[in-house]
């Protein structure tokens, strides 16, 4: 099972997170039937969102949205405290030839735009607290750098972010996926930041290490080198949507009596597809009739 860990390093002056997300990204790719380049983009965003939301509390929700001016359109990932994550991609077939060296041109399909982070608390309890929203221009389109840019500009946290998705050459099948996020707290020694930067520079690629069997903690060790750390928590992560047939019924009902009546008379039913997970919900004539009866009662 995929796993996410978070902790502190260097006498609690550095916040650290690491995750293995291979199965999670694989499921997202399967559901959205993404092209190779779009698979890498969506996988990086999902992994980065899980890392950024590693210490969410119960009933919290974190959403990261990339408003892209490139061919991929909008990209969204959303996670909650128990490690569930889901993702949306407007154009799952967006693709470009690989760059020199075999790298996927994620930067090319994203282009310019905005990188947005929304933090909500109490949403499942029906509490309507004002969410925290932070936005910065897309820094590079490579996504890992955009997470780091957001943390520095919007939250004033110098960070190192590594996100990777490795696909097998023959098809867009996810071989390995994961990432590491290291945040320097205000009390951190600048020399520690230099040490971490140098260690990361000489460390193996995240996806290569995962493919060879590295755990989330192994990834942390590789990026921190000799710096001591303490794991404060870990949890399983997986791709899971909170959509349901009941929610589909509620959404159709919200369109109003006239629209539902039209669906019943003209189409003899209704179909709704969840953008986050591509699950299709079909309402037959009886379902629509029950909606109308409830509206009339």
Q: What average pLDDT does range 225-236 have in this prediction? A: 96
- The yes-or-no verdict on residue 295 having pLDDT over 80 is no
Task: Tell me the domains of the chain and their CATH numbers.
Answer: 3-239 (3.55.30.10), 245-296 (3.90.1280.10)
| In the predicted structure, residue 214 carries a pLDDT above the cut 90 | yes
**If we measure between CA atoms, which residue out of 95, 98, 97 comes closest to residue 109?**
95
Rounded Cα distance, 180 and 209, in Å: 12
Going across the sheet that includes 159-167, the strands are 159-167, 174-184, 14-20, 3-9, 229-236
Residue of 180, 216, 212, 215 whose CA lies nearest to 199: 180
Tell me what pLDDT residue 54 has.
Answer: 95
Per-residue pLDDT at 260: 85
Look up residue 43 and give its two tokens.
């996988």
- List b or e across 172-195, with b for residues whose CB sees 16 or more CB atoms inside 10 angstroms: bebebbbbbbbbbeeebeeebbeb
Look at residue 42 in the predicted model and tell me its pLDDT: 98
The Cα–Cα gap between 93 and 11 comes to 46
pTM tops 0.75: yes
Least reliable range by pLDDT among 89-103, 114-128, 182-196, 226-240: 114-128
Rounded distance between C-alpha atoms, residue 95 and residue 84, angstroms? 27
Residue 266 confidence (pLDDT) above 70: yes
Residue 22 has pLDDT above 90, yes or no: yes
Tens digits of residue pLDDT in 175-212: 999 999 999 999 999 999 999 999 999 999 999 999 99
Closest to 217 measured CA to CA, from 45, 11, 13, 16: 16
CB under 8 Å, gap of 24 or more: what pairs does 145-150 form? 146/66, 146/115, 147/48, 147/51, 147/52, 147/64, 147/115, 147/181, 149/115, 150/115, 150/117
pLDDT digits (tens, 9 = 90+) for 56-101: 988 899 999 999 999 999 999 999 999 999 999 999 999 999 888 7
* Torsion angle of C-alpha atoms 2, 170, 44, 14, degrees rounded to 10: 60
Half-sphere exposure of 56 (CA within 13 A, CB side): 29
CA distances from residue 296 to 44, 174, 176, 274 in whole angstroms, order as listed: 47, 50, 53, 28
């Amino acid at each position: 099972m995929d796993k996410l860990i978070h902790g502190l390093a260097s006498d609690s002056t550095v916040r650290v997170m690491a995750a293995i997300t291979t199965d999670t990204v694989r499921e997202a790719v399967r559901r959205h039937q993404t092209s190779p380049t779009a698979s890498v983009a969506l996988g990086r965003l999902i992994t980065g969102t899980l890392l950024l939301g590693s210490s969410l509390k119960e009933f919290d929700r974190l959403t990261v949205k990339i408003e892209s001016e490139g061919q991929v359109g909008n990209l969204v990932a959303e996670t909650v405290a128990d490690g569930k994550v889901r993702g949306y991609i407007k154009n799952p077939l967006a693709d470009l030839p690989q760059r020199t060296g075999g790298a996927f041109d994620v930067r090319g399909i994203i282009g310019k735009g905005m990188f947005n982070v929304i933090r909500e608390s109490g949403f499942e309890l029906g509490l309507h607290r004002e969410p925290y929203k932070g936005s910065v221009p897309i820094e590079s389109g490579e996504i890992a750098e955009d997470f780091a840019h957001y943390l520095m500009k919007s939250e004033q946290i110098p960070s190192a972010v590594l996100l990777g998705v490795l696909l097998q050459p023959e098809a867009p099948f996810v071989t390995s996926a994961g990432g590491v996020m290291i945040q320097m707290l205000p009390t951190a020694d600048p020399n520690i930041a230099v040490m971490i930067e140098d260690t990361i520079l000489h460390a193996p690629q995240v996806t290569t290490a995962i493919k060879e069997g590295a755990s989330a903690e192994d990834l942390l060790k590789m990026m921190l080198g000799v710096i001591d750390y303490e794991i404060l928590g870990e949890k399983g992560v997986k791709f899971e949507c909170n959509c349901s047939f009941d929610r589909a019924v509620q959404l159709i009902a919200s369109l109003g009596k006239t629209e539902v009546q039209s669906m019943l008379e003209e189409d003899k039913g209704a179909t709704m597809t969840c953008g986050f997970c591509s699950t299709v919900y079909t309402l037959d004539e009886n379902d629509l009739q029950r909606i109308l009866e409830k509206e009339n009662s």
